[in-house]
Amino acid sequence: MSEKDFISKPFSSTIENGSFQWSAPSNIALVKYWGKKENQIPANPSISFTLNNCKTITKLAFAKHIDKLSVTNNGFSFDLLFEGKPKEDFKPKIQKFFERIEIYCPFLKDYHFTIDTENTFPHSSGIASSASGMAALSMNIMSLEKALNPNMTEEYFYKKASFLARLGSGSACRSIKGSVVVWGNHAEINGSSDLFGVEFPSNIHPNFKNYQDTILLVDKGEKQVSSTVGHDLMHNHPFAEQRFAQAHHNLSAIKTVLVNGNLDSFIEIVESEALTLHAMMMTSLPYFILMKPNTLEIINKIWKFRNQTNIPICFTLDAGANVHVLYPENVREEVLQFIAAELVGYCQNGNYICDEIGTGAIKI
Ligand code: PMV
């Protein structure tokens, strides 16, 4: 499929007003996306677990314009509510998103929207809400497009939702479906695309069923360097080409592991990917560090615990200081005890979130 396939055709139906509501989860990458080309095309393929509990819930109410001439803001008209209250500082991001997807969804200009959004996780937790937020909004927009074009297939509906979410925030395209999603062209993943996320095409080994992710909230502050700036610094990065090749290689390796259930190999790939992501940040120009001292304390404790107990627990990191602790469901009790006894002290205000693999966006 190409970008052109996502430009909507003239519709047979009309709809004056109504509303939709979708929830979409966050996701955690196992092989990381870091570096992009124009139009949110990833520099390398990535793969993630879709989460279950960390979600954004978004209601999109729409009413057709009677008088389009009074619409400003480049032709887009919307109000934005966060937890029921107007939130002006989120608006520029949505405005930019609408402008980016206008060519694919020209019908957006026919309506005034009220976007009412909330997260199940605390706003200031340091967990990025852009993936779940852009995914939830994209699902709503696709529900509207489907109302205008009732013949749309389910396959196209989900592909275009992921395509739109990607234009909002790259990794958001992996938050539409579950439980494991690949985004970016990869020679060994059938149907993989730079334009949207696809479900991992093979059967996943039972070891990964209900895989757990406990997110340790080390630092809830605003990041010093945004993901956008970080991705940009991969242009002319001295290790960029090796890194992109490594991601292809690691995706091949993890593909095998997800099928054969080898947890030692899983741990090695996932931890190496997390540290490589942060190594790229540390070797960018300008260089930067998003890990905090407590991030390293936690990593060392996890390694010690794993060595002592042989429990297959590992960590991964996204673009921040928080630590995602990944482990199979059958060791949940032991790991939660370990976290409560030894890791909580490194979390800001002792906060952490228990999550697990989920199935993707849900219509409410
Ligand atoms: O989707 P963005 O632009 O916020 O980038 C996300 C990048 C990482 O979280 C660090 C890695 C990933 O693949 O999710």
State the DSSP string of 137-152: HHHHHHHHHHHH-TT-
Cα(139) to ligand 1 centroid in Å equals 20
Supply the pLDDT for residue 121. Answer: 85
Counting atoms of ligand 1 from 1, which one is nearest the CA of 169?
1
Atom of ligand 1 nearest to the CA of 31: 13
> Are the CB atoms for 144 and 107 separated by under 8 Å?
yes
Contact indicator for 323, 298 with CB cutoff of 8 Å = yes
Residue 74, domain extent: 1-364
Which of 50, 54, 171, 176 maximizes ligand 1 atoms within 8 Å of its Cβ, making it the mutation to test the pocket?
Answer: 171
- Which residues have CB under 6 Å of ligand 1? 29, 32-34, 46, 128, 130, 169-171, 227, 231, 277, 318-319
- Please give the distance, rounded to the nearest whole angstrom, from the Cα atom of residue 34 to the centre of ligand 1: 7
Only one residue has tokens 């970080």, namely: 230
Give residue 90's Cα distance to chain centre: 18
Q: Is the pTM of this model over 0.85?
A: yes
| Kind of pairing between the strands at 180-183 and 197-199 | antiparallel
Residue 64 Cα, ligand 1 centroid: separation in angstroms?
35
- Residue 55 DSSP SS3: strand
**Strand 180-183 with 212-216, pairing:** unpaired
Residues in the chain predicted with pLDDT less than 50, given as ranges, are none
Q: What spacing in Å lies between the alpha carbon of 293 and ligand 1's midpoint?
A: 22
Amino acid identity at 147: A
**Can you tell me which atom of ligand 1 is nearest the CA of 130?**
4
Q: How do residues 117-164 score in pLDDT, each as one tens digit? A: 999 987 666 676 889 999 999 999 999 999 999 999 999 999 999 999
CATH number of residue 64's parent domain = 3.30.230.10
State in Å: Cα 362 to ligand 1 middle. Answer: 22
Q: What is the pLDDT of residue 9?
A: 85
Separation of 199 CA from ligand 1 center, angstroms?
18
Q: Using the 8-state DSSP alphabet, how is residue 65 labeled? A: -
Give the number of domains in the chain: 1
